[in-house]
Amino acid sequence: MKDLKIYIIAITALLTLYIIANLNQPKPVNWAETYINNDKIPYGTFIVYNRLKDLFPNAVISPRRQPAYNVLTNDSVKLASYIIICGSIDITKVDYEQLTKHIARGNDVFIAANRFGSLIEKKLHVSTNINFSVKDENIAVKFVNPTLDTTKTYLVDRGAGNYYFSELDTLKATVLGSNAHNKANYIKYRFGKGNLYLLTNPKMFSNYSMLKSQGAAYAATALSYLKPAKQLIWDEYYTRGTGGNESPMRVFLSNPQLSSAYYIALFGLLIFVVYEIKRRQRIIPVLEMPTNSTLDFVTVVGQVYYEKRNNSNIALKKTAYFLEHLRDHYKLKTSRLDDDFTQLLAKKTGIDQLLASNIVSACIVVTAHVHITDQELLKLNYLIEQFYIQSR
């Protein structure tokens, strides 16, 4: 019990020191490009999501975590703009067809991604690429709409404007924006009464970019192309998946300090279990298999009788055991050993008449004589053994 208390105190002290050390050290910046609307990390979209009301004051913002087909087959979203901001999108055929039908009814769909997936690239004849030039690590972007100031550029560091359209069908697509090298980065496709907007720089809508004046201005201008709508669908399917995993354990493990404490506690529990098993384990003695001492006992008893040479006693005991066997197994009365008994013995046991007669004679000799020779004792033993062999 004393060892257990020491162990608990040691583990508690270790956890306390670890938590204090983690609380005092600066939290590392998470540069993961999640584009999740409640992430406040640099590449989350918390700011732009919460400023959508400034751009669309009359719209109801509806975040959705289902594929486009599931969302748009609902009658309540027949008239709604659709915004998708993610690192890459690989849309399915049914989702693409549902999106284009939704656009044709007079709605706008806005997709900002570095990669648009094989289906969109095939259907719209587009492809994207990234600028790998070390000289132009950060490339400015601009709008080319004549109604806007086409000379104004927007520059955000950390490669926010580095992606562009390397392939483009200029007969179907309208270029709305480009980078400093005049490579299109923002285009529009017309489907029926609505428009599909594709932009290659989702980082321009991240928290990091929105905290900069040029980044915030660019995001607001890019989204202003969408016509006013009563409902604005904000996609979370391509950033978080269907339903997601919001279990308490996920939330717990998403915090570095809590997850570290959790694993330390598990490790401490493992050490405790191993320690307790080792402490309580007792040496199990090796037990030798018991030896069969019956043969030794018989040998000793036989040796004692042999040394005393009391053949009469041995013969009487063998005869008594034999007659008891006849009484128990064959229900024979052994009070009179005569010819009738001999015939009945042969009949009930199935032995030869001669063997039955010899056995009865030997038993009579044993009970009648005080002195039994070795030959008579051996003969009695032989006859009894033959009886057990032949009897049924």
Angle between helices 2-24 and 256-280 (to 10 degrees): 160
Written as six digits, the tokens of 30 are 């998470």
φ, ψ of residue 351 in degrees (nearest 5):
-85, 170
Checking if the pLDDT of 133 tops 70, the result is no
76-93 mean pLDDT = 93
Measured over the CA atoms of residue 108, residue 111, residue 116 and residue 118, the dihedral's sign is: negative
State yes or no: pLDDT of 144 exceeds 80. yes
CA Rg value for the chain: 51
The larger pLDDT score, comparing residue 49 to residue 305, is at 49
Is pLDDT above 90 for 235?
yes
Mean pLDDT in residue range 129-141 = 80
Decide: 186 and 225 in contact? Cβ < 8 Å. no
Q: Give Cβ neighbours of residue 374 (< 8 Å, ≥ 6 apart).
A: 311
pLDDT of residue 32: 93
Is a pLDDT exceeding 70 seen at residue 123? yes
Question: Is residue 251 scored above 80 in pLDDT?
Answer: no
| Tokens 């006859």, located at residue | 383
What average pLDDT score do residues 136-165 get?
89
Q: Check pLDDT > 80 for residue 11.
A: no
Distance of CA 266 to the CA centre of its chain: 17
Range with the lowest mean pLDDT among 206-215, 295-304, 319-328?
295-304
* b/e map 274-304, b = 16+ CB within 10 Å: eeeeeeeeeeeeeeeeeeeeeeeeeeeeeee
Measured over the CA atoms of residue 195, residue 196, residue 198 and residue 202, the dihedral's sign is positive
| Runs of H (alpha helix) within 242-330 | 248-254, 256-280, 294-308, 311-330
> Using 50, 70 and 90 to split pLDDT, how confident is the model at 281?
low
| 387 and 359 Cβ atoms separated by less than 8 Å | yes
- So where are the chain's domains? 2-26+257-280, 46-244, 301-390
pTM for the model stands at 0.61
Q: Which amino acid is at 147?
A: T
- Top-confidence residue, 142 or 287: 142
> Which comes out higher in pLDDT, residue 374 or 235?
235
Sequence length of the chain is 392
Residue 283 per-residue DSSP state: P
* All residues at 6 or more sequence positions from 168 whose CB lies less than 8 Å from its CB, including other chains: 125, 126, 175, 184, 187
pLDDT tens column, 334-351: 888 888 888 988 888 889
223 phi, psi to nearest 5 deg: -75, -20
Is the pLDDT at 252 greater than 60? The verdict is no
Q: Is pLDDT above 80 for 255?
A: no
> What is the SS3 assignment for 113?
coil
Q: Is the pLDDT of residue 368 over 60?
A: yes
Q: 261 with 15: CB under 8 angstroms?
A: yes
Terminal Cα distance for the chain, rounded: 69
Residue 49: pLDDT band with limits 50, 70, 90? very high
Token representation of residue 246 = 């919001």
Check residue 134 and give its pLDDT: 57
**What is residue 248's predicted lDDT score, i.e. its pLDDT?**
62
Task: Count other Cβ atoms within 10 Å, centred on residue 189.
Answer: 20
Q: How far apart are CA 109 and CA 191, in angstroms?
A: 10
Residue-level pLDDT at 75: 75
pLDDT digits (tens, 9 = 90+) for 22-37: 666 777 889 999 999 9
Cβ-Cβ contacts under 8 Å for 298 (sequence gap 6 or more):
none
Banded model confidence at residue 136, pLDDT cuts 50, 70, 90: low
Burial bucket for residue 389 (CB in 10 Å: 0-12, 13-18, 19+): exposed
For domain 46-244, which architecture applies? 3-Layer(aba) Sandwich (3.40)
- 176-217 per-position pLDDT tens digit: 999 999 999 999 999 999 999 999 999 999 999 999 999 999
For residue 280, pLDDT over 80 is answered with no
The mean pLDDT value of the chain amounts to: 86
